[in-house]
Amino acid sequence: MPTVKVFNLENKEVGEINLSDEVFGVELNEALIHEAVRNFLANHRRGTASTKTRGEVSGSGRKLWRQKGTGRARVGSIRSPLWRKGGTVHGPKPRDWSYELPKKMRRGAIRSALSERLREGNLIVVENFAIEKPKTKDFVKIMGNFGLLADDKKPIKTLIVDSLENKNLVLSSRNLPKVKVVNSNGLNIYDLLYHEKLVISKEAVEQVERLLNPKLDKKVKEE
Q: Is 31 found in the same domain as 111? A: yes
Q: How far apart are CA 36 and CA 111, in angstroms?
A: 12
- Asked if residue 133 has pLDDT above 80, the reply is yes
Q: How far apart are CA 29 and CA 68, in angstroms?
A: 67
- Asked if residue 222 has pLDDT above 50, the reply is no
Q: Is 152 found in the same domain as 91? A: no
Q: Is 105 found in the same domain as 8? A: yes
The candidate with the shortest Cα–Cα distance to 158, out of 182, 138, 141, is 182
Q: How far apart are CA 97 and CA 203, in angstroms?
A: 36
Q: How far apart are CA 223 and CA 220, in angstroms?
A: 5
Task: Sheet containing 197-201: give its strands across.
Answer: 13-18, 3-7, 123-126, 197-201, 158-161, 179-182
Q: Is 146 found in the same domain as 38? A: yes
**Cβ neighbours for 92, distance < 8 A, ≥ 6 positions apart:** 49, 50, 51
Q: Is 39 found in the same domain as 114? A: yes
Decide which of 152 and 94 is more confident.
94
| Pairing of β 3-7 and β 179-182 | unpaired
Q: Is 56 found in the same domain as 33? A: no
Q: Which amino acid is at 102?
A: P
Over residues 155-178, the mean pLDDT reads 93
The candidate with the shortest Cα–Cα distance to 123, out of 142, 154, 145, 148, is 148
Q: How far is CA 113 from CA 40, 94, 107, 132, in A?
A: 14, 33, 10, 32
Q: How far apart are CA 42 and CA 84, in angstroms?
A: 33
Over residues 134-157, the mean pLDDT reads 91
DSSP label of 155 = B
| Pairing of β 158-161 and β 13-18 | unpaired
- Asked if residue 107 has pLDDT above 60, the reply is yes
Structural domain range at position 52: 47-96
Q: Report pLDDT digits (tens) over 20-74.
A: 999 999 999 999 999 999 999 999 999 999 999 999 999 988 999 999 999 999 9
Q: How far apart are CA 171 and CA 179, in angstroms?
A: 12
How many folded domains does the chain comprise?
2
Q: Is 142 found in the same domain as 168? A: yes
- Asked if residue 219 has pLDDT above 60, the reply is no
Q: Is 84 found in the same domain as 161? A: no
Q: Is 37 found in the same domain as 54? A: no
Q: How far apart are CA 88 and CA 3, in angstroms?
A: 61
Q: What is the pLDDT of residue 220?
A: 45
Final residue of a structural domain among 35, 64, 96: 96
Q: Is 129 found in the same domain as 60? A: no
Report the CATH number at residue 19.
3.40.1370.10
Q: Is 152 found in the same domain as 52? A: no
Radius of gyration in angstroms for the set of CA atoms belonging to the chain, rounded to a whole number = 27
> CB neighbours (10 Å) of residue 189?
25
Q: Is 122 found in the same domain as 51? A: no
Coil, strand or helix: which one is 42? helix
**Cβ neighbours for 158, distance < 8 A, ≥ 6 positions apart:** 143, 148, 178, 179, 180, 195, 196, 197, 198, 199
Which residues lie across from 92 on neighbouring strands?
none
Q: pTM for the whole thing?
A: 0.83
